[in-house]
Each structure stands twice: as C-alpha cells, then as structure tokens.
A and B are shown apart, each in its own frame.
Chain A
Amino acid sequence: EDQVTQSPEALRLQEGESSSLNCSYTVSGLRGLFWYRQDPGKGPEFLFTLYSAGEEKEKERLKATLTKKESFLHITAPKPEDSATYLCAVHPGRSYIPTFGRGTSLIVHP
C-alpha cells in the first residue's frame, strides 16, 4: 500500500527564517511526486512535479528535491504570503491514482 507521511504537521516561522518541509513516501514504482499549495477555503494549487531521485525544481522562494525515499520543500526567506498548507502526493507507476499526505500547515509571521 502506498504511504505518504509529511512532517512537521505544523510549522511557524518568522519572516525571513528559512526552513524545510519533509515528505516521506513508500510507493510501488514512482511515476511522479507532486507538491501542491492549499489556501484556506480553496482547492490545492500545483507547484512542482519530480520524477526521479536527484531531481530539483525551483520557483521563487521554493525549491523541491527528491530522493528514493523522501522529498523536501525548502523555503528560503519566507514571506507572510507563503502561509498555506503544503501537500505532497505520489503517483504509483501501476495506476493513475495519487496518494496524498496530510499536509504541513505553514504560518509565516511578519
């Protein structure tokens, strides 16, 4: 059974305080690992796709990395507008159905 565990569940940062969110996974043949951002009352918004170990993607203050067992979402010098829940999802190679983690709730204080 595919499993995704995200840590920490919640994270509070001061503006400018860099940190990382973790997504540990077990999946039978990874087709892709996805990061989404979800704001309160809205649907998840796509951020990144990673397909193979060693791959990295960047967008503004966010950088996603992937190993064979986990992915990290690094946030550099965060701003209050980065406050959201960040979700990780894995797509197994054998099906089209993704498994989502429970998310990390990030709050960035000004």
Chain B
Amino acid sequence: GAGVSQSPRYKVAKRGQDVALRCDPISGHVSLFWYQQALGQGPEFLTYFQNEAQLDKSGLPSDRFFAERPEGSVSTLKIQRTQQEDSAVYLCASSLEAGGHEQFFGPGTRLTVL
C-alpha cells in the first residue's frame, strides 16, 4: 500500500555541508509533521504543516533548519551547515485531518554528520 515514504534512508554528511531530506506523505493527508529522534528517545517535534501552510516551527533547533511544503503534498527538510549534534533520525508523519488524529510515520532518514 501507499504509505509515507522518505528519502534518502541514510545520509552521511561532512560537517558544514547542506542536506535536504524528502518526505512523501499519504495522498490527501492534510497534516504533515517532522520529528527528530535521537537513539533511545521518543520523537521530538520539529515543525507542522497544514496543507502548504507552516503553522508551527517552534521545534526547529536553530535557523540552520528550514522546512517547506510548497504544494501541500511533498515536504523537504533542509539543514544548512550541518553540525555533529544534528546526527539523528528524522521522521516524517502525515495525518488525514488537522488536529489530534493518529499519525502515519515514514521509515525515517538516518543522518550522520562526520
């Protein structure tokens, strides 16, 4: 079935490089979330889109992090000038409607910054 997909699944970057992580949500899903998950931790909220509107970006760690969803479907999380502390799994999730519904997660992108 067509679930949430993310690419690449693995990314190794040298410190200072820019990276772009892609999320393809389930077709027709209004809500899209990005999370950061460190080893042994639960997902930490980064940002939330309702269709193409970014309604909350309070979880983005710094201004090096930028997310967009220009047509209300595919979303990209961009990290500029990567640092070692950016190493984590980045999860994308989509939800059919806005607000308080179950989320469908992608497999994540594991980012390693050397």
Number of interface residues of A (CB under 8 A): 24
Main secondary structure of the interface of A (DSSP, over half): strand
Contact A42 to B56, CB < 8 A, known contacts A31-B99, A96-B99, A97-B48 = no
Residue interface bits B27-48, CB-to-A below 8 A is 1, else 0: 0000100010000111111001
CA distance A96 to B99 in the complex (A): 5
Q: Are B43 and A46 within 8 A (Cβ)?
A: no
Number of A-B contacts (CB under 8 A): 61
> Per-position contact with B for A34-58: 1 when CB-CB < 8 Å, else 0?
1010000111111001000000000
Give bound CA distance, A36 to B102, whole Å: 9
Q: Name the CB-closest residue of B to A96.
A: B99
Q: Which B residues form the contact surface with A (CB < 8 A)?
A: 4, 31, 35, 40-45, 48, 50, 55-56, 58-59, 91, 93, 98-108
A interface vs B, CB < 8 Å?
4, 31-32, 34, 36, 41-46, 49, 87, 89, 91, 95-103
